Structure 1
């Protein structure tokens, strides 16, 4: 839960910010109180800590100490074609405790596994998903551009349900990464949770978009959820390259990044009632893990691809990590 110090800091910050902008103590009080009332009325409570631990730390005991979970990113996109049944099976064979899978939709509304909005990067097809129906998508080779394309030739793009059934069979936990489509995604996932109740104790719904998580909690407040965050994500790509050539636009988005980072750490997590915070690995430290632990939130780091980094997360931080490969060092996918 949000600590008292957080409460004081949050509303004090809002009060001072509005006071500086309006020079009106009355409006500062009104807006701060309104924000407090909004959170009190519309926030979702976190799911019980015992169940969150069951999902996030299935190998740990009552003390919370024990095995750290290695989660295969996109099913382990270095070891097999990403977001495929083959990747899920390879992840299980290579010792992953769970898989992170990306949810997208075809033009005819079928929920599938796909990271991008187009099929160009990973398949032998071309075009946006919004213009490809599932019957056409199922003909594509999902291994066409993978480094092990010969080994996995002909691997197809699975439906969300096919992937979930495979994970259940292999007893893998699932991190559902939802890219957008909050209404469609929450409906599709809610149907799956009703059909497979085991998911309540073996899966978590994650997204960069707070709207997605809030909509999921509205659809089913018993689902364990997480916000995904990378500081400077609006102004910089994952490799640190600026997104915009215009200096003014870059500075503006940098400012928005600062506000978004503050909102994630002081407001949005509480509104959504998340149980975990998925953070890009370069921003995780012992103090950062402790910051969230005091709030009943577990940190999960991504994408951890070097053995020395994995050892750091296993032995020092003792937090779960998401990786592209279970078998060797590799460059990260952004």
Structure 2
């Protein structure tokens, strides 16, 4: 639950900002009260802490989650990646949900097949049959070892994870309506997922839609501060100075909303944050609100020891077996 101090701070900040902007005490009061009523009426409660912990900590200690199934160790978002992750000791796997042109939920990170397969073109123009003819290992560093690996459907991947007893982090890339329908059907088909999976997204609308569809599902928001104005390595996203400054301002607003409004509105159980922003104080900040921190993407032995021994929070990694390049 949001602490009383948070409540006072949230509405005080809103009141002051609106008052400075409008110079109208009446409109300031109306808008602040409207925000309060909106959150009171439309927010979702967090799922019980005991069940959230069962999902996030299926075994004692810190959970090591294979990013995209462990994209360094095997072709990302494939069945073989899931199997390799399990063999290498992962507690769970993070899998990206996308859709084929004929509406079938599949595993794919990008909106095109260009980066990971021997095909070209957007998913929106490829049916499941088209995707079935592609080699999902074609661009991987171990392409010879895993040649011919196929793009799996969501259902195929989930059945493999259940068989291997892996926790699933569903990373929904978009399509909030379609994703909510597909995942609701999946949870209905496999009730074990309520205690062994979590739905995550960078888009708050996706998480809110999921909670509307099925409020019993454990959910998380994914976030990287300054993502609108800067790339993952910190370099500016835009060459135009005015556009960079405008998006920087939007980053500040978006970050504030994540930490003070959106998490509460969606009733999340975890917050997936880019590793560079995680600290002891940050973990405590969320713990006071009943939310667990999960860091991404942690790719070196030294970093993993830091998260396991000092911070004691779950992390997502590209490799279970060796150090690999930073991933933003």
TM tier, shorter chain?
A: over 0.9
Corresponding residue to 2:88 among 78, 87, 94? 94
Which residue is 2:141 aligned to? 147
For structure 2, the residue ranges without an aligned partner over 5 or more in a row are none
Which residue is 2:226 aligned to? 232
Task: State the 1:24 CA deviation.
Answer: 1.0
1:242 matched to 2:236? The reply is: yes
Task: State the 1:106 CA deviation.
Answer: 0.7
Task: State the 1:236 CA deviation.
Answer: 1.0
1:119 matched to 2:113? The reply is: yes
The whole-number CA distance in structure 1 between the counterparts of 2:199 and 2:313 is 18
Task: State the 1:58 CA deviation.
Answer: 1.2
Which residue is 2:305 aligned to? 311
The whole-number CA distance in structure 2 between the counterparts of 1:3 and 1:224 is 21
Task: State the 1:237 CA deviation.
Answer: 1.3
Corresponding residue to 1:301 among 295, 299, 316? 295
**Deviation by residue 1:75-98 (Cα, 9 ceiling, x = unmatched):** 000000000000000000000000
The whole-number CA distance in structure 2 between the counterparts of 1:97 and 1:44 is 28
The whole-number CA distance in structure 2 between the counterparts of 1:177 and 1:33 is 34
Which residue is 2:46 aligned to? 46
Task: State the 1:13 CA deviation.
Answer: 0.5
Which residue is 1:292 aligned to? 286
The whole-number CA distance in structure 1 between the counterparts of 2:111 and 2:327 is 16
Task: State the 1:333 CA deviation.
Answer: 3.2
Instruction: Kindly report structure 1 stretches of 4+ aligned residues shifted beyond 4 Å.
Output: none
SS in 2 for 1:299: strand
For structure 1, the residue ranges without an aligned partner over 5 or more in a row are 61-66
TM-score normalised by length of structure 2:
0.99
**Deviation by residue 1:178-223 (Cα, 9 ceiling, x = unmatched):** 0100000000000000000000000000000000000000000000
Question: 1:1-334 residue pairs with structure 2 within 5 A?
Answer: 1-60=1-60, 67-334=61-328
Task: State the 1:241 CA deviation.
Answer: 2.3
RMSD value, Cα: 0.6
Which residue is 1:64 aligned to? none
SS in 2 for 1:192: helix
The whole-number CA distance in structure 1 between the counterparts of 2:229 and 2:123 is 26
The whole-number CA distance in structure 2 between the counterparts of 1:107 and 1:250 is 35
TM-score normalised by length of structure 1:
0.98
The whole-number CA distance in structure 1 between the counterparts of 2:303 and 2:202 is 23
SS in 1 for 2:124: helix
SS in 1 for 2:198: strand
**Deviation by residue 1:281-307 (Cα, 9 ceiling, x = unmatched):** 000000000000000000000000010
SS in 1 for 2:316: strand
SS in 1 for 2:69: coil
The whole-number CA distance in structure 2 between the counterparts of 1:190 and 1:306 is 36
SS in 2 for 1:234: coil
